[in-house]
Structure 1
Amino acid sequence: MRFFSCLCCGKRSDGKKKVKKTEPSWREFTPKELQAATNSFNYDNKLGEGRFGSVYWGQLPDGSQIAVKRLKAQSSCREEINFAVEVNLLGGIRHKNLLSARGYCAEGQERLIVYEYMPNLSLVSHLHSSESLLDWTRRMNIAVTSAQAIAYLHHHATPRVVHGDVRASNVLLDSEFEARITDFGYGKLMPEEDGATKTKNIGYLSPECVESGRESSSGDVYSFGVLLLELVTGKRPVERLNQTMKRGITEWVLPLVYEKKYGEIVDQRLNGKYVDKELKRVVLIGLMCAQSEPEKRPTMSEVVEMLMNESKEKMAYLEGIPLFNKKNGSEILS
C-alpha cells in the first residue's frame, strides 16, 4: 500500500506504513475491490454527500452490502499521518449502536472507509418524508439507543471521542430500525477548511460552537437535545417563517411547554398514538440538553439515565428545573 510515500519537511518517507489491524472483521480493501463493488462509484450507487465526502452503495463478491465513504483528498503528510491514526481508532471502537467501520482503502489519492450498509437509511428519510412514518415505539427506541451510543463515545471509548456532528442524517437505521450513529471521529480524521464547521446545519450547533468553531462533548449534548425534539415533533431544527425570519425548534417548543400543550408539540402524523408521559419526559430532556449555557447541560450518561427512568420522582425533578419556569426559561435558552 502506497500510504506514506510523500515528501515531508524535505525528506522522503520510503517505508510503507500500514494501518494496524484491530480485529478480524477489520481489513484493508484494494481500490479494485471497491471500484467493482460500487460499479466504479457510479452516480446511481450514490447514497448521499456529507461534510467529509460522498457515500456509495456497494456489494462484495460474497453478497454482503456495504456503504463506502469516499473522503475528500488529503493534501499533506501530516494529514496522511492523522488519517492513519484516526482510522486505527475507528477500527477499534465497537458498540452495538455505532456504525463500525469494516475497513479502509488508502492508495494514491483515494481515502475510503467501508461500512456495513444500513437498509433503512437515515432518520432524516423517515422524519421528513411523506412516504415513511416511524411509530412512537420506534422513536423512543431510537432516542435511547442513540443516547447510549453517544454516551459510549464520551465516557467509555478509548480514547474518549467527541462526535462533533450529531444530527438526524447521522443516525442510520438497520433492518430492525435500531439506531446506528455514524460519522463519529471524523472531526479529527478530516482537516477542517476555514469556516467548514459553520457550514453544517446551524440548527444543531451549540452557541459556543457557532462562535468558536470548537467541538466539545457539551456541544454534542446540545445537538442531541435538538435531535430529540426533532424526533418527537417531526419538525426540522430550523423553520423558515418567511423570507427573512427563521425560528429554532426550541423557540417553538418552550412556549408550548409553559402552557403544557404537549399534544401540540408531538408529530401530528402520529394521530394521537403516543405515550403521554414518555412525550413529556423526552421533550423536557431535549430542552435541558439544548440550554445555551454549557455548564447547565447534563452529560450524555445522565441523559441516558433520564430517558430510561420512568419514575414519578424523576419527572418531578425535571418539571422543577428553572428552565421550565416561564419567568426564567426564555433567558436560559436564548
Structure 2
Amino acid sequence: MSQVGNTEEELAEDRPSVESENREERLAARRLRIEERNRKALADDSEEEKQIKETRESQKQVEESEERMIKLQRDGTDLLTNIQVAADFRESQRRMEEDEARRQRIEKLENEVKTSLEKFGEITEKWTVARAKEIPQDLRDALMRQQQLCALLIEDKNKLINDLQEELKTCDNLYVKDLKRQGEDVDLMIDRMEEQIKNLMKSYKEEYEKIENSFEKERAELLHRNRTEWEQKMKERRDKEVEYLMQRMKKVEESEMMLNKLRLDDAEECNAIKTKLDNEVQVLQQQVQQMKATYHLNQEKLEYNLHVLKKRDEENTITKTQQKRKITRLQDTLGNLKARCAKQEKQAREEKQSITDDYKRIVQENKHREKKMK
C-alpha cells in the first residue's frame, strides 16, 4: 500500500499544474482535470452528465480563448524576433567585412613597410656613393636621383595615407548608415509592439466577453436547474416530514401504552424487591455486629503481638551491639597479627639475605684459597 501511495504522489508531482507560470502547462493541466472529471462522472445520472457537458463547453471556450491569445503573443514575438534576427545577421556580416578589411589593411601596411625599408636602404646605400663623387656635375646628378627616390617614397606614403583616409571615411559613412538603419529597426519594432499591444488588448477584450457570456449563460442555466431541483427537493422534504410526523404520532401512542404497562409491572416488581432488600438489610446488620466483635478480638491480639515484637527488637539491639564490640576487638587482634607477621617476614628476608651474603663470601674465600693452594 505504501508503494502504491508513493507512486500516486510521484505521478501527481510529474503532472502539470494549473498554478504554473507556463500557459501551455496550465492548459494541459485543465485538460487533464476535465478528462478525470468526465471519467468520474460515467456512473452519474443524465442530469449530472448534462451539467458536466455544459461545464466542458464553458471550459472549452476558456481553452480556445487561451490558445488564441497564446498564438497572438507567439506571432507578435516572432515579428519582433525577426527584426532582431535581421539586425544580428547584418551585424555579423558587418563584423566579417570589418575583419576582412582589417586583415587586408594590415597586409597592405606590412607590404608597404617592407617596400619602404627596401627603398630606404637603397637610398641610404646611394648616399655613400654620392659622397664618393668628386666632380660637381656627377654629385648634382646623384643628388637629383636621390631626390627623385625620396619623392617616390614620400608619394607612396601619401598614397597609403590617402587610401587609409578614404577607408576611414567609408567606415564613417557605413557607421552613419548602420545607426540610421538601427534607428529604423527600433522605430519598426516600436510600431510593431504598439500594434501588437493594440491587437492583444482588443483580443483580450473580445475573448473576455466571450468567456463572460459563456459563464453567464452557464450560470443562468445552472440557477434555473438548481431552482427546479431545490423546489423538487423541498416538496419531497415536506412529504417526508408529514410521513415522519404520522409515524412519530403512532410511535408516541404505542410508547404511552407500553409505559402504562411497564409502570404497573414495575410497581409489582418494586414491592417484591423492597421486601427482599429489607430482609437482606437485616442479615447484613447481623453480619456487621459479628464483624465488630471479631475486629475487637483481632485488635487485642495485634496489641499483644506488637508488645512481644518490641521486646524482641530491644533484645536484638543489645545482641547486635555486643556483636559489633566483639567484631571491633577481633579486627584489632587481626591488625596486630598482620603487623607481627609482616615484621617476622621482614626479619626472615633480612636473615635470608645475610645468610646468602655469607654463603657467597665463603664461596669466594674458598675459591681464593684454592687458587693459592694451586
TM-score higher than 0.5: no
Greater strand content: 1
What's the TM-score once normalised by structure 2's chain length?
0.18
Per chain length, whose mean CA-contact separation is higher, i.e. which structure has more relative contact order (CA < 8 Å, sep 6+)? 2
What's the TM-score once normalised by structure 1's chain length?
0.19
The structure having more radius of gyration, on CA atoms, is: 2
